[in-house]
């Protein structure tokens, strides 16, 4: 039988790896636009550290064991016919399946605000990060303390917080910080509005420390090449405009994120996993769009697809197999704020070096969990400023500071949603909501 995994983000890669083991006699086909997996929660770092792009981009053929990788764009999914339509470099093709999981993630939502999509740069791909960096240098060229460049980030969810922090840090490193104003806009009354109050306050303090101007209860009405028209009738000129204001479904789902129950089953043989859908868990609660949720949903989906195919193979009729349900249970949240970070573990909020070590450990733990150990080591070195092995005098095998399970190491990271087996098992939100 054939299982189609449509998309290779957190949900798609985790699902494909589990299906390779669970269904050794079945065909697993992974469809992805360019045959790579992007570690989305580290993407903002590429704005300031372009060399990280290589560490957070994984070749699917190197991290998957036997799945077939097809480079194509999924343009349509027909659950009734159990067929996906693909656009390849050679034309349109169809992919029939016995079971499929739509793991196409989400795209940036511009909410049909006039001019915003045309004039703002989103942050969903490596190319976007490079564009944001290039636009920053164009914006600050010739800026002075008396005539500063204004960089505006629209949307203060965790994605907006992270890119605003990176841009403020980039201004300190590569420009005169007094000649650059980074402004973060949020239409609700707090940054990170979906999170607890103590986490919000720590994030706001971190932004203040980075020199970011935060404006809450400020909504964008429209944009043009020179500025924003705000909902309060204010005109806000800008030199650079980045948009992290929300998410919507993938084009293959007509921009919608269909609501799915805790079994993640959309219809018959078709499942929706991760940000591509709006999942309601076993407690009846809506699940936030996040990397950790996508990874954990993928585990449930893998088990359910295995049960479904075993049921079909047995030729059973008259009843459906009992499928497992997904329950959202977050161990915590992490967000980068420039050179710093904020972590929440239960009711405790961490900042400073402890939070940064946790953040780095989680990123490296995820990479190691999907088989990209070398990338994990490189990420730890880059984030914590450790030297390369080649520059270490007398470095011995086994003394690599990036591979241990302690603070800042790759740890176990089992399943990709934890950095180590220690007390910190937290991941970050990669959505814009």
Same domain, 292 and 309: yes
Q: Is residue 428 part of a domain?
A: no
Q: Is residue 348 part of a domain?
A: yes
DSSP 50-103: TTHHHHTEEEHHHH-SSPEEEE-EEEEEETTTTEEEEEETTEEEEEE-SEEEE-
Same domain, 126 and 234: yes
Same domain, 205 and 259: no
Please state the pTM of the whole predicted model: 0.87
Per-residue pLDDT tens over the stretch 329-365: 988 899 999 999 999 988 899 999 999 999 899 889 9
pLDDT at 316: 67
Asked if residue 168 lies in contact with residue 140, where contact means CB atoms within 8 angstroms, the answer is: no
Residue of 163, 215, 225, 213 lying closest to 187 (CA atoms):
215
Q: Is residue 266 part of a domain?
A: yes
Q: Residue 219 has which token pair?
A: 């909504």
pLDDT (tens, 9 = 90+) of the chain, 433 residues, equals 999 999 999 999 999 999 999 999 999 999 999 999 999 999 999 999 999 999 999 999 999 999 999 999 999 999 999 999 999 989 999 999 999 999 999 999 999 999 999 999 999 999 999 999 999 999 999 999 999 999 999 999 999 999 999 999 999 999 999 999 999 999 999 999 999 999 999 999 999 999 999 999 999 999 999 999 999 999 999 999 999 999 999 999 999 999 999 999 999 999 999 999 999 999 999 999 999 999 999 999 999 999 999 999 887 666 789 999 999 998 889 999 999 999 998 889 999 999 999 989 988 999 999 999 999 999 898 888 777 655 444 444 433 323 333 333 322 322 333 332 233 334 434 444 4
Same domain, 57 and 133: no
pLDDT at 317: 64
Per the listing, tokens 């103590």 go with 198
Q: What is the C-alpha separation between 32 and 102, in angstroms, rounded?
A: 11
- CB < 8 Å & 24+ apart, contacts of 375-382: 375/55, 375/56, 375/58, 376/402, 376/403, 376/410, 377/402, 377/403, 377/410, 378/54, 378/55, 378/402, 379/42, 379/52, 379/55, 379/56, 380/408, 380/409, 380/410, 382/49, 382/51, 382/52, 382/55
Same domain, 251 and 149: no
CATH number at residue 277: 3.50.50.60
Question: How do strand 265-267 and strand 270-272 relate by DSSP bridges?
Answer: antiparallel
Q: Is residue 389 part of a domain?
A: yes
Backbone torsions φ then ψ of 185, nearest 5 degrees: -105, 140
Q: What is the C-alpha separation between 390 and 384, in angstroms, rounded?
A: 17
131 three-state secondary structure: helix
Residues 6+ apart with CB under 8 A from 181: 148, 149, 150, 151, 213
Q: What is the C-alpha separation between 199 and 195, in angstroms, rounded?
A: 7
Same domain, 50 and 133: no
Q: Is residue 319 part of a domain?
A: no
Same domain, 275 and 263: yes
Handedness of CA 296, 299, 301, 303 (dihedral sign): negative
Q: Is residue 324 part of a domain?
A: no
Order of strands, sheet of 68-71, starting from the edge strand that comes earlier in the sequence: 68-71, 27-32, 2-6, 99-102, 270-272, 265-267
Same domain, 152 and 233: yes
Q: Is residue 326 part of a domain?
A: no
Same domain, 32 and 121: no
Q: Is residue 278 part of a domain?
A: yes
Which range marks the domain in which residue 181 is found? 116-243
pLDDT at 283: 97
Q: Report the DSSP beta bridge partners of residue 2.
A: 27
Number of domains in the chain: 3
Same domain, 222 and 297: no
Q: What is the C-alpha separation between 153 and 171, in angstroms, rounded?
A: 14
Asked if residue 239 lies in contact with residue 149, where contact means CB atoms within 8 angstroms, the answer is: yes
Same domain, 54 and 20: yes
Same domain, 287 and 173: no
């Amino acid at each position: 039988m054939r299982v189609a995994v449509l998309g290779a983000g957190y949900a798609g890669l985790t699902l494909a790896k589990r299906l390779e083991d669970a269904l050794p006699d079945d065909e697993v086909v992974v469809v992805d636009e360019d045959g790579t997996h992007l570690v989305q929660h580290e993407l903002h770092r590429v704005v300031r550290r372009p060399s990280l792009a290589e560490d957070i981009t994984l070749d699917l053929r190197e991290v998957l064991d036997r799945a077939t990788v097809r480079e194509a764009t999924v343009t349509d999914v027909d659950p009734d016919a159990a067929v996906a339509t693909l656009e390849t470099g050679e034309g349109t093709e169809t992919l029939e399946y016995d079971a499929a999981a739509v793991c196409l993630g989400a795209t940036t939502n511009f909410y049909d605000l006039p001019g915003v999509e045309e004039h703002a740069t989103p942050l969903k791909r490596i190319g976007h990060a490079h564009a944001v960096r290039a636009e920053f240098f164009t914006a600050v060229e010739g800026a002075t303390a008396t005539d500063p460049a204004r960089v505006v980030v629209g949307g203060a969810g965790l994605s907006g917080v992270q890119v605003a922090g990176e841009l403020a840090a980039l201004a300190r490193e590569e420009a005169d910080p007094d000649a650059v104003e980074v402004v973060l806009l949020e239409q609700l009354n707090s940054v990170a509005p979906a999170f607890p109050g103590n986490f919000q306050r720590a994030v706001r303090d971190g932004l203040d420390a980075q020199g970011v101007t935060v404006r809450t209860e400020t909504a964008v009405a429209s944009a043009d090449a020179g500025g924003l028209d705000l909902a309060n009738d204010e005109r806000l000129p800008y030199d650079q405009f980045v948009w992290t204001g929300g998410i919507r479904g993938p084009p293959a789902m007509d921009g919608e994120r269909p609501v799915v129950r805790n079994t993640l089953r959309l219809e018959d043989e078709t499942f929706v996993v991760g940000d591509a859908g709006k999942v309601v868990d076993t407690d009846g609660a809506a699940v936030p769009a996040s990397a950790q949720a996508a990874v954990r949903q993928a585990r449930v989906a893998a088990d359910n697809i295995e049960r479904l195919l075993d049921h079909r193979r047995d030729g059973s009729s008259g009843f459906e197999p009992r499928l497992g349900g997904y329950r959202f249970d977050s161990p915590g949240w992490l967000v980068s704020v420039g050179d710093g970070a904020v972590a929440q573990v239960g009711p405790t909020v961490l900042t400073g070096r402890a939070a940064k070590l946790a953040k780095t450990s989680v990123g490296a733990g995820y990479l190691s969990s999907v088989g990209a150990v070398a990338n994990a080591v490189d990420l730890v070195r880059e984030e914590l400023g450790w030297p390369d092995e080649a520059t270490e005098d007398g470095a011995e095998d086994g003394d690599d500071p990036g591979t241990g399970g302690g603070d800042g190491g790759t740890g176990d990271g089992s399943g990709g949603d934890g950095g180590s087996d220690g007390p910190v098992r937290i991941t970050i939100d990669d959505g814009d909501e």
